[in-house]
Amino acid sequence: MYTQQLTKPQYAGRGMTSDRTRGRLIELIKSMGVTNKAVLSVMQSLPRHIFVEEALASRAYENTALPIGHGQTISQPYTVGLMTQTLFNKPRSKVLEIGTGCGYQTAILAPLCDEVVSLERIVKLHRRARDLLYDLGVRNVKFRHGDGFAGMQDFAPYNGILAAAVSEDVPQELIDQLAEGGRVVMPVGKDQRQVLIVIDKTSTGLIEQEIEAVRFVPRLAGLG
């Protein structure tokens, strides 16, 4: 396991794509409603093509989800931007991510907060993402192999929780591990009916709202 230090990463200058190529994608998702300057800045500087297989690298800056193996996908950039912007409606120092996947969303979260705890069920994805982000200079993420929807009590409470896989409901474990003033952003539903929701934990209870319809890979059973 790598030694974790709370140092926020900087991605400027990394990757081989031109600023124009990334810029077109950023302008597109900005026009779709992702306007948080900090989120856009991180997405602009992060080379998305290194998170997909070489054969798909030419499609990395399209606004589309792409396969990353094991039946999983790297999410559509607009969806990543929307979820990140929704989570960071205010500063959040410690964030729990459910579903590391290829590590793209993790790499966007890392510069925006002090610490990320990222959980992934599929061990090969967990290891690949951990090694890739280490190579990118990320030192403020704790990577763990496990059931994300059970949360990670060892590092709770969290100021924010973001899930990249759909669940039929919000597990109580996540609510229990959320700090007062914290926020959950995740897709819920099943089959063709999935909605991105936000839950805010206040001193008087939970406030839930729907954002928009989405389409995510289903929650997996067991560890892979």
Positions marked active-site: 75
Helix axes 77-87, 37-45, angle to 10 degrees: 140
Nearest by Cα to 124 from 223, 222, 1: 223
Nearest by Cα to 65 from 54, 73, 56, 57: 73
β-pairing verdict for 72-74 and 158-163: unpaired
Contact 130, 8 (CB under 8 A): no
Using the structure block, give the residue that is written with the tokens 């590092």: 155
Contact 105, 95 (CB under 8 A): no
Cα–Cα distance between 145 and 125 in angstroms, integer? 9
- Give residues with Cβ within 8 angstroms of 153, minimum separation 6: 173, 177
Cα–Cα distance between 135 and 103 in angstroms, integer? 12
